[in-house]
Chains A and B, each alone.
Chain A
Amino acid sequence: MLRDLGYRPYDGPRLGPSHNWLVMLRHGLRRAWSSWIVKLVALTGWIPPLVALVLIGIHMMLEREAVARGVPPGAIPRLDPAQFVRTGFGWQTWLLVSLVSTGAGATVIAEDLGQRAFSFYFSKPLTVEQYLVGRTSAVAIWIFALLFGPAVLQIVALAATATDGSTAERVGLLLPAFLYALLAACVFAIGSVGVSALSSSRALTVTAWLVLFFVPHVLGSLVEAIAGWPWLLLGSLPALLGTVADALLRVETGSAIRWFHAMPLLVLFAVGAWMLAARRLRAAEVVA
C-alpha cells in the first residue's frame, strides 16, 4: 500500500559536519559485522585466550602441589607474565588480526568503489577525511577488541593466581597491553584500509594486503634463520609491532632490531597508507 505522509520540512537542530565520522563509524561497524570472516573471528577469537587461561590454571595447580609436597622454590619454572601476554599477542595477531584486517579492512574502499557507493556518501556533506576516519576507526575497534580483550582476561587471571606477591606488578601489565593494542589496531587498520584504496577489485586489494602482511615476515625470518641477518624483518609489520610490544612489556629477546628502529617505520607506514587512501579518494570522482 502506498501512503502519503505529507511533506514535513525538517526544522530541528542540525549537527555539524564533524559528527559525520561517528555516523561512518557506526556504519563501518555494521558493515564489518556483515562479513563472515569477522563473525568467524568474533566467535573463535576467544579460543586462544581460553587456552591461555587453562595453561595459567594448570601452572597454578602445579605450583600449589609443589608447595604442598615441600618441593623447593624454583623447581617449577616460574611463569613470566609479560612473556605470557606477549605470546598471546603473537597468536592473536597471526591467527585473528590477519583475518579481520583482511576481511573488514582491505575491502573497505575497494567495495565502495566497486559498488559505486560514493554517489550516496559524497552527495551528502561528508568529507574524505570524515569518511576515512569513520571507516578506519571501525576496523581499528575490531582489531583493538581482538587484542586487548583477551589480554585483559589473561592479565586478570595472572594477577588472581599470583602466589609470589606479584599481583600489582601483573596488574601493571594492563597499561603496556593497552598501548600495544592501540598501536597495533591503528597500524593494521590504517594499513589495510589504505591498501583497499589501490583498486576497485576486492580480490586485488585483499591479495595485496595478504602479501604485505605475510611475505616480508616469511622472507625476513628465513634470511635471519639462514644468514643471521635480521634487518629484512624491518619490512614486516607484525615483526615491527612485535618489537614495540617487547619493549612495552619489557620482554628481552636479544634481537638487534629495537623499538626505536620500528617506531619510525610504523609511523611512516601509517602516514603513507593514510595519504594514499586520501589521495585515491579525492581522485576517484564518481564517474557517471
Chain B
Amino acid sequence: MSTEPDRSAEPTLRAAGLSKWYGRVTALQDVSVHLGPGIWALLGPNGSGKSTLLHLAAGLLRPSLGQIRVCGLVPFGEPRALRRVGLCPEADALWNELTGLQTVATLAALGGMRPAEARDRAVAALEAFGLRDAMERPVGSYSRGMRQRVKLAQAVVHDPDVLLLDEPLTGTDPASRHAILEEVRRRAARGALVLFSTHVLPEVEALTDRVLLLVRGRIVAQGRVHEIRDMLAEHPQRIHVVCDRPRALGARLLEEPSVAGVRLLDEGLEVETREPEPTYRAVARALVEGGFELRSLTSPDATLEALFHHLVERGARMAGTGADPGVGRARAGTGGP
C-alpha cells in the first residue's frame, strides 16, 4: 500500500486555547498561536512548558483543553500529520547498543520508507551532520554532541515540513552548532516551519528575530523582537554613548522630552529612555550638531537576552497577581522568514 503524505497544506502550527496539565501541575495554559513557515525560537525558563508545547505539536501528548493543529491536522495519532513532522526530543533516549545508522534507518522506516531507501537516507542524514565515520559504531560509544546529531538526523531524515527541535544545541561544539543552525536555515528557506527551543540566546538572535516566549505555561510575548520591545512601554532602555565631551552631550540630551535621564560614566554617558526610536534620533542629531567625536553607541537592553529576562520577570510578576501576562504580545506573525 502506498500512502503519499498530503503536502498540499502549508506548513503551519495553530493552537487555540491550548492547555495541558499533568495531575495538578499546569504545564500549558490557554495558549493560542498561529505560526507559519520560517524559524521560530521558543524561549522560556525551565519548566515554562516549552517541551510540552513541542510534544503536543509532535502528537506525543493529548491536549487537556483546546486544540492544536499541524498543517491543518490534529497530530495525535494521525499518520498524515506525523509524516510531516520531525521531532528532535530533548531526552537522550537513544539505544546504546544500536549503531547510529541502525537507529536513524529504523526511525526513517517508521515514516513509511522501504528498508533500502530508509538506509540510504539515514546515511545521507548522518553524513550531513558529520557522522560519516562514526555511523557504524554503537551509539553508546558516542560523545554527547554526536548523540545530539543522531537525534537531529532522525528528525530530518524524512524531510519534514514542520521541524520541532527541543534544545537542539545542547552539548554541541561550535562546528556542530554551526552545521545545525545552517541546516535549520536551509530548511526554513525552502518553506519549512522550524520551531526550536533553546537557552543559547545569542545564537537565536543570529538565526531569527521571531520568538515565542513562554513563562509558567503562558505565552507572554510572540512576534519579532523589535515589535515586542516597542510594545513594552515600561521596558526601560539604556543607550551607552562613548564620545568626547560627554558632559556637554548629556546636557543637550536632557532637553529632549523622550530622554528620561542621563548618567555620566567613566567613558561617555548612559541615556535612559522609554521611547527608544525618538531618543536614537535625538542622540544622532545632538552628536552631529554639537560636532562630537563619537567612539561607540551601544544599548545593553536592546539584546534579546535583556528582553528575555525582562519579560520573564514581568510574566512571573503578572502570574502572581493573576493579571494577563500576555499584554506584551506583538501581532501573530504567519509570514515568511
Q: Which residues of B contact A30 (CB under 8 A)?
A: 97-98, 102
B229 CB → nearest A CB, Å: 29
Q: Could you tell me the distance between the alpha carbons of A14 and B302 in the complex, rounded to whole angstroms?
A: 48
B76-99 contacts to A, CB under 8 A, are 77, 79-80, 82-83, 85-87, 89-91, 93, 95, 97-98
Q: Could you tell me the distance between the alpha carbons of A23 and B4 in the complex, rounded to whole angstroms?
A: 19
Q: Could you tell me the distance between the alpha carbons of A243 and B1 in the complex, rounded to whole angstroms?
A: 42
Asked if A2 and B130 sit within 8 Å, CB to CB, the answer is yes
> Contact partner of B93 among A13, A15, A120, A127, CB < 8 A?
A120
Q: Which residues of A contact B89 (CB under 8 A)?
A: 116, 119-120, 123, 286
Q: Could you tell me the distance between the alpha carbons of A117 and B154 in the complex, rounded to whole angstroms?
A: 13
Known: A15-B112, A122-B59, A287-B22. A5 touches B124 (CB 8 A): yes
Chain A residue at minimal CB-CB distance from B97 = A34
A12 at the interface (CB under 8 A from B): yes
B260 CB → nearest A CB, Å: 41
Q: Could you tell me the distance between the alpha carbons of A8 and B187 in the complex, rounded to whole angstroms?
A: 11
Asked if A10 and B98 sit within 8 Å, CB to CB, the answer is no
Query: How many B residues face the partner with a CB closer than 8 A?
Result: 62
B213 CB → nearest A CB, Å: 17
A118 at the interface (CB under 8 A from B): yes
Interface string of B160-174 (1 = CB under 8 A from A): 000000000000000
Of A17, A287, A288, most buried by chain B (CB within 10 Å of CB) is: A288
A37 at the interface (CB under 8 A from B): no
Asked if B113 and A120 sit within 8 Å, CB to CB, the answer is no
Q: Which residues of B contact A10 (CB under 8 A)?
A: 113, 117, 121, 158-159
Of B62, B77, B110, B132, most buried by chain A (CB within 10 Å of CB) is: B110
B136 at the interface (CB under 8 A from A): no
B26 at the interface (CB under 8 A from A): no
Asked if B82 and A31 sit within 8 Å, CB to CB, the answer is no
A149-170 contacts to B, CB under 8 A, are none
Interface string of B1-27 (1 = CB under 8 A from A): 111110000000000000000100001
Chain A residue at minimal CB-CB distance from B176 = A2
B190 at the interface (CB under 8 A from A): yes
Q: Which residues of A contact B102 (CB under 8 A)?
A: 30
> Contact partner of B159 among A7, A27, A34, CB < 8 A?
A7
Known: A3-B128, A124-B111. A23 touches B91 (CB 8 A): no
Q: Could you tell me the distance between the alpha carbons of A8 and B127 in the complex, rounded to whole angstroms?
A: 13
Q: Which residues of A contact B288 (CB under 8 A)?
A: none
A217 CB → nearest B CB, Å: 32
Q: Which residues of B contact A119 (CB under 8 A)?
A: 55, 58, 60, 87, 89, 91, 93
Known: A2-B130, A17-B79. A124 touches B51 (CB 8 A): no
Asked if B113 and A20 sit within 8 Å, CB to CB, the answer is no
A1 at the interface (CB under 8 A from B): yes
Of B52, B85, B89, B178, most buried by chain A (CB within 10 Å of CB) is: B89
Asked if A14 and B91 sit within 8 Å, CB to CB, the answer is no
> Contact partner of B182 among A1, A4, A285, CB < 8 A?
A4
B287-328 contacts to A, CB under 8 A, are none
Sample of 4 further A-B pairs with CB below 8 A, known A15-B114, A119-B91, A286-B60: A119-B87, A125-B79, A125-B111, A288-B49
Q: Which B residues fall within an 8 A CB radius of A?
A: 1-5, 22, 27, 49-52, 54-55, 58-62, 77, 79-80, 82-83, 85-87, 89-91, 93, 95, 97-98, 102, 106-107, 109-114, 117, 121, 124, 127-130, 132, 154, 158-159, 175-176, 178-179, 182-183, 186-187, 190
22 A-B interface contacts by CB (under 8 A)? A2-B129, A2-B130, A3-B127, A5-B128, A7-B186, A13-B114, A14-B2, A15-B114, A16-B112, A17-B3, A23-B109, A23-B110, A116-B89, A117-B93, A124-B107, A124-B111, A125-B79, A125-B80, A286-B61, A288-B50, A288-B51, A288-B55
